[in-house]
């Protein structure tokens, strides 16, 4: 359990440090950006081919019946295939790249064909996210889109594009609020409950399951505050040490909350370091979009905003789900941190 997760975590650290230390000019940064996009696309294709589609929303379920189900089986993966929620989490890390570049290229006649291609790619990724029917993924995507529009509206000079983005942002907030009012609390509660046969973790409804897991995850963090229970060990600890109301033999892969999961994996000191990395990403984004973007590569601002939006989306998604430390898709998170750190290194080099 621990060795594969530790290997994945050390690989992520290595990628982050390599990008931070060795990207020193525009061409190296652009090459790393292309590699990041290709890795994200590769993870998405593999996950989409191995995913076990589930039926939650009737209209979407009809479309899913036309798609192949679990075309390939990944080594060491669950017998039922990749969970659709994991595919959603993977998408959130890099799906804002095409939309961010679409905003950057908007109304630029020199790149009209490229703009249409980027727009089509952004629509395909969004459509795939909708097909996952991951409610955590959808909420994370909404947060990511709003972050993208908000940060771009700060980065752009005064003009029509900035005005349009702010109108889109305000309109999006109003649409979400009106939608919540129209749906109502009772239908929202029903949307959070899954039939037993659609839930890979047992017979509990999704919300009830999460509350039960969170309860014992907090207890475990209290029992192991400095070291955590160890990378990837929570699935064993919860069954052996705590009287959780979960069917014996059910595999609980993680705590269904990214912050609880980090505390379980590496303890509260590790959680503090992890939170510091997130604040670092926010600080770098602020520096790039508000102060030092003029002399940087033209790809720096759209990339920075897209990566930060993806990190926000991932952690909003992570409030009720998680891509645990050391998980294979987590490599994208560390790659994103590496690119952000590299942008900051290029910014600091302007003062040397």
Q: Quickly tell me which residue has 């759209």 as its tokens.
A: 302
Which pLDDT does position 65 carry in this prediction? 66
Q: What is the pLDDT of residues 92-142, one digit of tens each?
A: 998 999 999 998 887 666 777 788 888 898 999 998 898 888 888 999 999
The token pair that represents 32 in the structure block: 């790393």
When pLDDT is averaged across residues 51-62 and rounded to a whole number, the result is: 71
pTM of the model: 0.87
Q: How confident is the model at residue 236 (pLDDT cuts 50, 70, 90)?
A: confident
62-66, 102-106, 236-240, 264-268: least confident range: 62-66
Contact between residue 261 and residue 324 where contact means Cβ atoms under 8 Å apart: yes
Confidence class of residue 70 from pLDDT cuts 50, 70 and 90?
Answer: low
**Whether the predicted pLDDT of 335 surpasses 80:** yes
Supply the DSSP string of 37-58, one letter for each residue: HHHHHHHHHHHHHHB-----SH
User: What backbone torsions phi and psi does residue 57 show, to the nearest 5 degrees?
Assistant: -105, 120
For the chain, what is the largest distance between any 2 Cα atoms, rounded to a whole number of angstroms?
64
Mean pLDDT of the residues in the chain: 82
pLDDT for 80:
60
- Nearest in space to 101 (alpha carbons), one of 315, 320, 316, 298: 298
Distance CA(149)–CA(105), nearest Å, equals 15
Contact 193, 207 (CB under 8 A): yes
Query: How is residue 202 written in tokens?
Result: 């047992």
Contact 343, 306 (CB under 8 A): no
Residue-wise pLDDT tens digits, 269-298: 999 999 999 999 999 999 888 765 566 778
What is the pLDDT, as a whole number, of residue 198? 39
| Overall number of domains in the chain | 1
Using pLDDT thresholds of 50, 70 and 90, give the confidence band for residue 21: confident
3-state secondary structure string across 66-99: CCCCCCCCCCCCCCCCECHHHHHHHHHHHCHHHH
Range of the domain at 266: 2-349
pLDDT given at position 308: 96
**Whole-number Cα distances in Å, 170 to 65, 165, 166, 305:** 36, 9, 6, 19
Strand residue runs (E) in the chain: none
Q: What are phi and psi of 51, to 5 degrees?
A: -75, 150
Question: In the chain, what percentage of residues exceed pLDDT 90?
Answer: 30
Q: Looking at residue 49, what is its pLDDT?
A: 81
Vertex 325 angle, CA 331 and 287, to 5°: 65
Partners of 82 in the beta sheet? 51
What is the predicted pLDDT for the residue at 195? 46
Task: Report whether pLDDT(193) > 60.
Answer: no
* Mean pLDDT within 169-174: 85
Selected residue with higher pLDDT from 165 and 60: 165
**Can you read off the two tokens belonging to residue 326?**
């050391």
């Amino acid at each position: 359990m621990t060795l594969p997760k530790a290997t994945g975590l050390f690989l992520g650290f290595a990628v982050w440090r390599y990008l931070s230390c060795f990207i020193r000019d525009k061409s190296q940064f652009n090459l790393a950006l292309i590699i990041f996009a290709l890795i994200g696309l590769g993870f998405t294709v593999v996950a989409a081919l191995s995913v076990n589609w589930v039926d939650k929303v009737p209209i979407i379920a009809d479309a899913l019946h036309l798609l192949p189900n679990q075309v390939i089986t990944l080594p060491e993966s669950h017998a039922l295939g990749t969970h659709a929620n994991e595919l959603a989490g993977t998408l959130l890390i890099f799906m804002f790249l095409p939309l961010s570049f679409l905003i950057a290229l908007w109304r630029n006649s020199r790149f009209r064909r490229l703009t249409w291609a980027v727009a089509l790619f952004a629509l395909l990724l969004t459509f795939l996210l909708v097909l996952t029917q991951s409610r955590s993924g959808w909420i994370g995507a909404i947060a990511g889109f709003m972050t993208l529009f908000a940060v771009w509206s700060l980065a752009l000079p005064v003009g029509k594009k900035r005005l349009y983005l702010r109108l889109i942002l305000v309109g999006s907030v109003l649409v979400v609020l009106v939608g919540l009012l129209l749906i109502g609390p009772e239908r929202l509660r029903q949307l959070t409950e899954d039939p037993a046969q659609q839930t890979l973790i047992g017979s509990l409804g999704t919300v009830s399951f999460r509350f039960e897991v969170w309860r014992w995850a907090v207890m475990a963090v209290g029992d192991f505050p400095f070291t955590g229970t160890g990378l990837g060990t929570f699935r064993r600890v919860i069954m052996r040490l705590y009287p959780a109301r979960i069917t014996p033999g059910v595999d609980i892969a993680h705590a269904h909350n990214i912050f609880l999961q980090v505390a379980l994996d590496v303890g509260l000191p590790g959680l503090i370091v992890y939170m510091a990395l997130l604040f670092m990403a926010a600080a770098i984004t602020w520096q790039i979009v508000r102060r030092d973007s003029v002399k940087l590569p033209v790809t720096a601002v759209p990339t920075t905003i897209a990566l930060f939006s993806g990190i926000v989306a991932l952690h909003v998604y992570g409030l009720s789900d998680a891509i645990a430390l050391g998980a294979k898709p987590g490599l994208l998170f560390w790659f994103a941190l590496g690119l952000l750190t590299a942008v900051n290194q290029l910014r600091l080099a302007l003062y040397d």
